[in-house]
Amino acid sequence: MSRSVPPRLLAACATAVLAAGLFAAPAAQAEPGPAVTGPTVLPGTYLDTGRTDGCNATGTPGWVSVSQFGPELYARTTAPAARFKLWDATGAKVLDTTADADLGAVRTSVANLPDGAGYTWQVWPQYRPGSGQPTETCRFGVDTTQPAAPTVHSDDFPDSGGGKYAGQPGAFTFSASDTGSGLACFRYVLDGTEGVGGCDPADPDVVLPDADGTATVTLKPAGWGTHDLQVQAVDHAGNTTQPVRYSFFAPSNPNPPKALGDVDNDGVPDILLPDSRGNLLVISGDAAGTTPTTVVPAERAPLDGSWSGLQVVHKGWGNSAPADTLFVRSTAPGNNGYLYMYANQGAFPVGANSPALVRHPSSCTDLANLPTTCPDGRSTTYRDVRQLVAFGSVDQARPYGLNLLDVEQGDLWLQRDPSRFGKSTRLTTSGAWNGYDLIAPGPDADGNLALWSREQSTGLLRAHAVPKLADGGYDFSGLADPAAGTVLGTFPVADYPTLGSSGDLNGDGQPDLYAVTADRHLLAYHGAAAPRDRGPLA
């Protein structure tokens, strides 16, 4: 992470070096002898909670924050003792002392240093006056004071009530100041427990302030009721304020929007992807970038404390609120064969409640959804499923209903509403569907369905039409041969490890593709063409 060094720290350190003048003994007096190496300040100097090294010409001076006995100056030496000198920002000597070596280490504590930037120090080996070279000049600042407590303001969700409905996005503005090392970031959490961490901008709970000490974030309170937003201000030395709580009430929307692919009840399809830390990112389909509207913590995953390596599919709901039910499964060999189902009540993040375990259907139906005998050797769990997608509803009475489509023994199977002890329908008999990645774009504006497939060996992406019939049924004959679809483009697996679709992202009535590149950039497409790079994922 690149860090911006506060100008006051650099300027003060430079001034101190000039003011102190000759730190080292003249070269003519120096003699070869025992050396001093590895000067450092303990417990360490920090900038935005990252360790710094202010003891070389190209190093970054950092800050010392709260310490019971003040900072400790430390070095290694082959001499029996070493001499420490410390100057403040004006060049005035603050410390001049000698410390005996103990197993090659020398150290001295400096108590009661006033807060401020521009402290500089050096160490000399002490074995005969006027001999031995000093270390390079080391630099640091002292800041033991927390920033001012942050304030929170929102016109969209005032603390006095009113404003927008639950599930709608709202802007919240944070403000704070710090006269020491300077304001570094705000940490925040909505309806959760404040985490412990620094100011890494890759952290979804961190926002960096503007020059005026303010930052604005967009949040979506999930369900109706009272919500609690906690905010902390953090300075460059790592000093953190106590959480400030901002409570507000979000009323229920009397006319909630409905959109397949939407998981947070705002009427916009969402893209769900894991970040580099195993958290699950919920990225709005109409967003310009990759900033998530919601982050589901890794520890809320149903398996192994991470969403990485799990497949999350969504497109439709049962009897819950008009937001997608989520199905999650492990793709690891020898997995337990279960689907984990999160019945979404429109309140995110998922994982706050335990998911339901969904077993594989044990009975079969034909294309007309009439009972039929299951073929021998069919799968009885989801353990050996090669691909799984949320296909879209095939029941005209339930246009937002749940149906999954998977590959079992090389054939496509439709799993009819697993949330209601559904049944399996075999859609193909060729056994040719191994070696393909499946993508379910969902219905178009006329209700026609489709299946997109990527041939793993070539990267060819094809579209297979599943048109809606006059009687409300669907024609699945276009799925018979995976190589017979309409070619949409080429997406080599090495370049595009992830392809998916959450439905119509841009509101034009046609489903859209998204992709994650090898360097973890999210691309959003118009249909399957004209990609737009939304930027890197966290």
Q: What is the pLDDT of residues 61-81, one digit of tens each?
A: 889 886 667 889 999 999 999
DSSP 55-95: SSTT---EEE---TT--EEEEEESSSEEEEEEE-TTS-EEE
pLDDT of the residue at 349: 56
Dump pLDDT digits (tens) for 9-28: 555 555 544 444 433 333 33
Tell me how many degrees the CA angle 101-17-123 measures, rounded to the nearest 5: 5
d(C-alpha 511, C-alpha 524), whole Å: 11
Backbone conformation region of residue 267, classed left if phi is above 0, alpha if psi is from -120 to 50, else beta = left
Predicted confidence (pLDDT) per residue in 469-504, tens digit: 998 899 999 999 999 999 999 999 999 999 999 999
pLDDT value of residue 421: 62
- 7-142 and 151-250: identical CATH topology: yes
Instruction: List phi, psi (to 5°) of 226.
Output: -85, 135
479 DSSP 8-state letter: G
Tokens found for residue 355 = 């998911």
Residue 230 and residue 257: Cα distance in Å, rounded?
Answer: 28
151-250 carries CATH number 2.60.40.10? yes
Element (H, E) at 525: strand 521-526
Mean pLDDT of 370-393: 91
Q: Residue 536, preceding bond cis, omega within 30 degrees? A: no
* pTM of the full structure: 0.65
Percent over 90 (pLDDT), the chain? 54
For the chain, the farthest-separated pair of C-alpha atoms sits apart, in whole angstroms, at: 102
- Per domain, the residue ranges of the chain are 7-142, 151-250, 270-536
Fold of 270-536: Methylamine Dehydrogenase; Chain H (2.130.10)
Which CATH architecture fits 7-142? Sandwich (2.60)
CB 378 within 8 A of CB 409: yes
- Work out the number of other CB atoms within 10 angstroms of the CB of residue 39: 25
Q: How many residues does the chain have?
A: 538
8 Å CB contact between 433 and 494: no
